[in-house]
């Protein structure tokens, strides 16, 4: 059982932390160049794979396209992209994003990229959690159950869940749980029962 839990935790990690030092949040606004819609749609699968990787690594918190109007079935009036990223500096943000195919292929108007210091004040759990976050919840639940604590319906309310987890987990385990969500956990930090 412990090996299965350890495997689940380790499989949530796709890459090491973006930086060993302090990271900050950055809001990035990228307009599309005029007349690139057709090309954008052609290369979007490559761009999307890159952004999934960046999200799993913890560099991208969230990202998505910006539209001229709300999407109606069959139309996607793209005009750019917006994202929140985590990096120690604006330079690292630029360096990382310049490697994306939307920059290399001239989809984004890179000369006019806007990067602002940003801070998330309110977060809400995803309505459709990723397989990675579901694995993390299972690991935390196993730790809590091992201590005789049932989370019950707390999973359906992010605030209740956080309070319940905080009351059960030791400080180091809470740190590990948060680090796991951010994708920066290291195997030697795992609680002893998860290492075996």
Of 71 and 33, more confident? 33
Do residues 70 and 80 touch, judged by C-beta distance below 8 A? no
Q: Residue 7 has what pLDDT?
A: 38
| DSSP letter string, the chain | -HHHHHHHHHTT--S--S-SS--EEEEEEEEBPTT-HHHHHHHHHHHHHHHHHHHHHTSEEEEEEEESS---TT---EEEEEEEEEESSHHHHHHHHTTSHHHHTT-B-GGG-EEEEE--------SS--HHHHHHHHHHHHHHHHTT---GGGGGSHHHHHHHHHHHS-HHHHHHHHHHHHT---GGGS-HHHH-
**Structural domain total, the chain:** 2
Q: Residue 195 has what pLDDT?
A: 37
Choose the final residue of a domain: 87, 118, 149. 118
* Shared-domain flag, residues 33 and 55: yes
Cβ within 8 Å of residue 167, ≥6 positions away: none
pLDDT bin (cut points 50, 70, 90) of residue 9 is very low
Give the domain extent around 185: 124-195
* Shared-domain flag, residues 35 and 85: yes
CA distance 177 to 196: 18
If you average pLDDT over every residue of the chain, what do you get?
71
Mean pLDDT, rounded, for 71-81:
82
* Shared-domain flag, residues 138 and 80: no
* Shared-domain flag, residues 38 and 111: yes
The answer to the question of residue 7 being in a domain is: no
Of 107 and 194, more confident? 107
* Shared-domain flag, residues 30 and 62: yes
Q: Residue 69 has what pLDDT?
A: 83
The answer to the question of residue 11 being in a domain is: no
């Amino acid at each position: 059982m412990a090996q299965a839990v350890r495997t689940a935790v380790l499989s949530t990690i796709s890459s090491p932390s973006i930086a060993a030092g302090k990271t900050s949040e950055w809001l990035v606004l990228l307009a599309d160049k005029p007349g690139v819609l057709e090309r954008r749609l052609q290369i979007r699968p490559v761009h999307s794979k890159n952004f999934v990787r960046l999200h799993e690594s913890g560099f991208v918190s969230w990202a998505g396209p910006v539209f001229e109007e709300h999407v109606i079935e069959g139309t996607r009036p793209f005009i750019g992209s917006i994202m929140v990223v985590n990096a120690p500096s604006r330079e690292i943000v630029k360096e990382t994003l310049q490697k994306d195919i939307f920059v290399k292929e001239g989809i984004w108007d890179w000369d006019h990229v806007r990067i602002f210091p940003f801070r998330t004040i309110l977060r809400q759990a995803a309505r459709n959690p990723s397989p990675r976050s579901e694995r993390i919840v299972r690991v935390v639940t196993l730790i809590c159950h091992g201590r005789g604590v049932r989370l019950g319906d707390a999973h359906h309310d992010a605030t209740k869940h956080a309070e319940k987890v905080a009351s059960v987990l030791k400080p180091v385990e809470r740190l590990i749980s948060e680090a796991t969500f951010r994708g920066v956990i290291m195997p030697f930090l795992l609680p002893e029962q998860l290492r075996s």
